[in-house]
């Protein structure tokens, strides 16, 4: 059974319609669980999705047909593997009506607020309130993030929450040089609960980080992590718009690279944390450090964390440098575009670190970017894992110094420099 769908003109409208339709199937038939095995047939412009369990007695194969640019123009039921659905049957009438209802209601989702708990390496966030979200500190290092979403039912809302939380956590990471993740409860599940956005009882709301530029450590006041006003505005833009600009998407991608790099970085530099001190009778002070069990377990399976973090930190500014760069020039001989990515990255560093031409940091980043490229394209390692506590100098022509070093890139510097640059760029967007 084939049902034509007309009046959809964009990829975004296609996906909104499909979300409305899956919600309508759940409303009529129950859970609508999937045996999901999608594949695309370009010659017939169809996408087979799999089988949807629309009731206890049968599953139905579902395919989509599309026009140019992935715009849905039809839904096919039971068209695979000699299945048949009679249009005049009760099921056929229900499916046709579900498509009609979803199309009519596709631009009328409910706007409701849901809350998730997020955790960081250090502290809770200070309380913040935007038009589409709210952050409230909880027991350190937990914060409660409430988000308004447009959704067609609870299952659709949960998917939307998880979709938008990811870039929000990435931005929080850049804003604080910190690592964030969804706080999971029993059975490793994320608790997504429906709430109301109301007036917070916290005495201080939107205590923004001071305008003075900072690079080292983390922005903290009275034990709570601080954000900038630009971050609050940017998060509101993410939540309020169906489609972001190319520049906004690129910035979110660069923040994602930064955050994943920070997660690898933490396996090296944040496994130990301060948990108190003791003054001895002789006047000496003994610091007590404790190993973070979360990071200890993860670090056992990430032998190359330092290299992965280096590559992703450098990739973050490679992506960010595309935002306000000039279009690539074309070769006068072959007509091919010449991207000059390394030069673009150096220009980005010079601009957002406020460097003068020829500054040594520009050369440092050019060298780091070349190392990243050699690691990805030629397999040249970025670290020497043979260090045992005793230095054994060996010649290494690939090293800047000419001899072997445990690492030629200091991650803490990359973290702080690149986080600073991304924060400065956010102020211009």
User: 3-state DSSP call for residue 386?
Assistant: coil
Predicted confidence at residue 287, as pLDDT, reads 62
Predicted confidence at residue 196, as pLDDT, reads 78
Q: Which two tokens stand for residue 297?
A: 């377990």
Q: Rounding to the nearest 10 degrees, give the CA dihedral for residues 342, 346, 352, 356.
A: -170
Q: Cα 416–176–195 angle (5° rounding)? A: 160
Q: Return d(Cα 371, Cα 378) in angstroms, integer.
A: 10
Q: How many Cβ atoms from other residues are within 10 Å of residue 79's Cβ?
A: 19
DSSP designation for 325: P
Q: Identify the H or E element spanning 72.
A: strand 71-77
User: 3-state DSSP call for residue 41?
Assistant: strand
Q: Which two tokens stand for residue 309?
A: 């973090």
Predicted confidence at residue 121, as pLDDT, reads 87
136-174 burial, b at 16+ Cβ within 10 Å, e below that, comes to bbeeebbbbbbbbbbbbbeebbbebbeebbebbbbbbbb
Contact between 149 and 161 (Cβ < 8 Å): yes
Q: Pick from 77, 94, 88, 71: which is nearest to 25 by CA?
A: 94
Is the preceding omega at residue 207 within 30 degrees of 0, hence cis? no
pLDDT digits (tens, 9 = 90+) for 212-262: 788 888 899 988 999 999 999 999 999 998 889 999 999 999 999 999 999
Q: Identify the H or E element spanning 240.
A: helix 229-240
Q: Which two tokens stand for residue 422?
A: 């991304």
User: What's the predicted TM-score (pTM) here?
Assistant: 0.86
Q: Classify the C-alpha dihedral 25-28-31-34 as positive or negative.
A: negative
Contact between 353 and 421 (Cβ < 8 Å): yes
Query: How big is the chain, counted in residues?
Result: 429
* End-to-end CA gap in the chain: 48
Predicted confidence at residue 130, as pLDDT, reads 93
Predicted confidence at residue 421, as pLDDT, reads 96
**pLDDT tens series, the chain, 429 aa:** 899 999 999 999 999 999 999 999 999 988 888 899 999 998 899 999 999 988 767 788 999 999 887 899 999 998 666 677 888 888 889 999 999 999 999 999 999 999 999 999 889 999 999 999 999 999 889 999 999 999 999 999 999 999 999 999 999 999 999 999 998 765 567 788 888 766 555 657 889 998 778 888 889 998 899 999 999 999 999 999 888 999 999 999 999 999 999 999 998 887 766 566 667 777 776 666 666 766 766 666 666 888 899 999 999 999 999 998 776 666 556 655 556 888 899 999 999 999 988 888 888 899 888 888 888 888 777 776 666 677 778 787 766 777 776 666 788 999 999 999 999 999 998
pLDDT digits (tens, 9 = 90+) for 318-373: 999 999 877 666 655 665 555 688 889 999 999 999 998 888 888 889 988 888 88
Predicted confidence at residue 380, as pLDDT, reads 78
Q: Which two tokens stand for residue 302?
A: 């990430």
Residues 6+ apart with CB under 8 A from 378: none
Predicted confidence at residue 297, as pLDDT, reads 65
Q: Return d(Cα 239, Cα 135) in angstroms, integer.
A: 14
Q: How many Cβ atoms from other residues are within 10 Å of residue 369's Cβ?
A: 21
Q: Return d(Cα 139, Cα 106) in angstroms, integer.
A: 40
C-alpha distance from residue 394 to each of 60, 118, 387, 388, 398 (Å): 65, 46, 12, 14, 12
């Amino acid at each position: 059974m084939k049902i034509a769908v007309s009046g959809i003109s964009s990829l975004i409208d296609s996906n909104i319609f499909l979300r409305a339709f899956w919600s309508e199937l759940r409303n009529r038939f129950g859970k609508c669980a999937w045996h999901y095995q999608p594949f695309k047939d370009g010659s017939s412009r169809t996408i087979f999705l799999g089988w949807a369990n629309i009731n206890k007695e049968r599953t139905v194969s579902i395919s989509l047909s599309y026009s140019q640019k992935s715009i849905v123009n039809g839904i096919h039921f039971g068209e695979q593997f000699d299945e048949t659905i009679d249009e005049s049957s009760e099921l056929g009438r229900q499916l046709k009506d579900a498509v009609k209802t979803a199309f009519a209601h596709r631009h009328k989702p409910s706007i409701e607020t849901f809350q998730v708990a997020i955790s960081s390496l250090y502290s809770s966030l200070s309380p913040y309130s935007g038009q589409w979200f709210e952050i409230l500190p909880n027991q350190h290092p937990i914060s409660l993030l409430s988000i308004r979403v447009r959704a067609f039912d609870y299952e659709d809302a949960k998917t939307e929450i998880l979709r938008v939380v990811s870039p929000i956590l990435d931005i929080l990471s850049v804003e604080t040089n910190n690592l964030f993740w969804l706080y999971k409860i029993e059975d490793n599940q994320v608790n997504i609960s429906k709430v109301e956005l109301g007036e917070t009882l916290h005495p201080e709301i939107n205590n923004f980080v001071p305008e003075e530029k900072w690079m080292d450590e983390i922005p903290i006041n009275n034990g709570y992590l601080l954000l900038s006003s630009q971050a609050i505005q940017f998060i509101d833009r993410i939540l309020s718009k169906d489609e972001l600009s190319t520049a906004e998407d690129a910035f979110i991608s660069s923040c994602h690279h930064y955050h994943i790099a920070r997660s690898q970085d933490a396996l090296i530099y944040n496994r130990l944390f301060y948990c108190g001190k003791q003054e001895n009778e002789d006047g000496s002070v003994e610091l007590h450090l404790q190993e973070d069990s979360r990071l200890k377990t993860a670090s056992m399976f990430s032998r190359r964390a330092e290299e992965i973090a280096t590559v992703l930190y450098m990739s973050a500014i490679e992506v960010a440098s595309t935002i306000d760069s000039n279009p690539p020039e074309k070769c006068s001989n072959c007509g091919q575009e010449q991207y000059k990515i390394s030069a673009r990255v150096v220009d980005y560093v010079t601009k957002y670190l406020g460097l003068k031409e020829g500054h040594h940091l520009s050369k440092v980043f050019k060298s780091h970017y070349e190392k990243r490229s050699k690691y990805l394209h030629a397999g040249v390692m970025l670290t020497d894992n043979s260090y045992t506590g005793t230095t054994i100098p060996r010649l290494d022509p690939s090293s800047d110094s000419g001899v072997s070093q445990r690492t030629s890139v200091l991650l803490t510097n990359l973290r702080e420099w690149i986080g600073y640059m991304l924060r400065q760029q956010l102020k211009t967007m």
